[in-house]
Amino acid sequence: MKLATRMTVALGASALLLFGGGGVVYVRAEERSLRASAVREATLLANSLQSAFENALRDRQLQDVAGTLDALSHVDPSVSIFVFDDTGSLVRASAGANVTADTLRVETAARAQVQPIVESASDSSTSRLRLGLRLRDETPSSPSAIVLEKPLTELDGELLAMRRTIALTALAFVFAVAALSWALARTYVGQPLARLVEHMRRVREGDLGVERPDAMGDEVGATRLEFQGLVDALAAARERADQEFDARRRLEAGLQDADKLITLGQLSAVMAHEIGSPLQVLEGRARALLKHAHDKESTTRTAELLVEQTARIARIVDQMLSITRRRAPVRARIDAASPIRSVVALVEIEARRRRVAIDVVLRGATDAFADPDQLQQVALNLIRNALDATPPASRILVELGGDDAFFELRVTDGGGGVPESIRARLFDPFFTTKTERGGHGLGLLVVRSIVREHEGTVVFERFDPPGCIVVVRIPRDAQQEVA
């Protein structure tokens, strides 16, 4: 139920209660007043007849009683008068008057006391006023009495008309109050609140356009002004948030550029060192080759060393290019198990040579939103690292699965773990523990770069024996974000 309707019903009910209650009180007071007036008139008439009837009964002038009653019948035929003697026998009655049991009861009560007997009784059709008055004749110990009966038809009619008038007036008043309250509530409450609700709906949908409310000096106007202030503050906060977001994006872009420059500087310094060493070897061997060109055996050894160092430089340059010039991933919804199984098949030959088993276990769905080629590169680097860390007669466990939001690649090696002193440097460029085996410390850096471009994460879940666990998580679709 709308507010205007509830207010109309409440005010209408209140008006009906107040006006109706006042009308009931007024009708009852008027009824008491009219009945008291009728009693006074009947009492005056009975008192005026008292002396005349006492004298007539004392002198046995019954014809005088009859004459008086006949005269009264012509004046007010609705009034019935009964005259009883000291024995309770009816002496005379006005024309058309009929004695009833109520008449005799009032007569008996009137002869028993000095004060008049007054009672008002109602039947199904009308109400009557009965008044009994004691008379004294020559035998004061045995008084006689008169009973006066008067119908209150006129009084009942006046009261009924009054009730109808008050009821109609109350209904008209309630209708007027209800109509006026409905119009006022709709104008000053309903319509402003409806506009406020519509404004709230637009704000909830994202429309923070300025809407200046009407200048209303009441509580509804104050509410709309306060809400508009809230919307203005929200719009200002959104604008500040947008500005802060843009500033943060610019800052992040700047930090990324700075990070690239720092990384590039680090890579350049390390690369100069890493390439400088084999270049010195190449230079020394080349000079030795010039000096011993006639020695076939020395020339062969020198040539093999030149090939080895040149290949080493080529690998370093290739790893550098994979980081600095790697293409952007072309992501799609794929079955990640297929490219990863291809990597496992490629590495299994080397694994069997080292007597290391590679187990692939599915722990759930294997779909992911990824570039299959780059996912292969991630898996290849992780499995190769695991293979280098795993001793013979051990196993590598590759688990594929995840939850509803993210695909998960979990690689567990069978090695001796990673010392705590070097754990923080595992993703640093050119940091490696496999220098004697030709490692260059770029594999995990490549993995982390690829996974980040896929909006995923790569973490070491375990460092201690019986082997490390590396976990890669990649979203299953484009809408997921890493927490």
In one-letter notation, the amino acid at residue 306 is: L
DSSP3 helix / strand / coil % (the chain, rounded to 5): 60, 15, 25
In this structure, are strands 117-122 and 127-135 parallel, antiparallel, or unpaired? antiparallel
- Separation of alpha carbons 110 and 108, rounded Å: 5
Which structural domains are found in the chain, ordered by start? Answer: 3-162 (3.30.450.20), 329-475 (3.30.565.10)
Dihedral angle at the C-alpha atoms of 148, 151, 154, 158, nearest 10 degrees?
100
Q: What is the pLDDT along the chain (483 residues), one digit of tens a residue?
A: 666 677 777 777 787 788 778 878 888 888 788 888 888 888 887 777 777 777 777 667 777 777 777 777 777 777 888 888 777 788 888 877 788 888 888 888 887 777 777 877 766 566 788 888 887 755 555 577 888 888 887 777 888 888 888 888 888 888 888 888 878 777 777 777 777 777 778 777 777 665 665 555 666 677 767 777 777 777 788 788 888 888 877 776 666 566 556 556 655 655 665 566 567 666 776 777 777 767 777 777 777 777 776 776 776 666 555 555 556 678 889 999 998 998 888 888 788 888 999 999 998 899 999 988 889 888 888 898 888 888 898 999 999 998 999 999 999 988 877 766 665 556 665 555 554 444 445 667 778 888 888 889 988 888 777 888 899 999 998 765 444
Question: Distance between CA atoms of 434 and 442, rounded to whole angstroms?
Answer: 11
Structure token pair of residue 427: 């993703």
Helices (H) and strands (E) in the chain, counts: 10, 12
What is the Cα–Cα distance from 480 to 332, expressed in whole angstroms? Answer: 14
Instruction: Assess contact for 344 and 360: CB atoms under 8 A.
Output: yes
What global pTM score does this model have? 0.39
Q: How far apart, in Å, do the first and last CA atoms of the chain sit? A: 46
C-alpha neighbours within 13 Å on the C-beta side of residue 234: 14
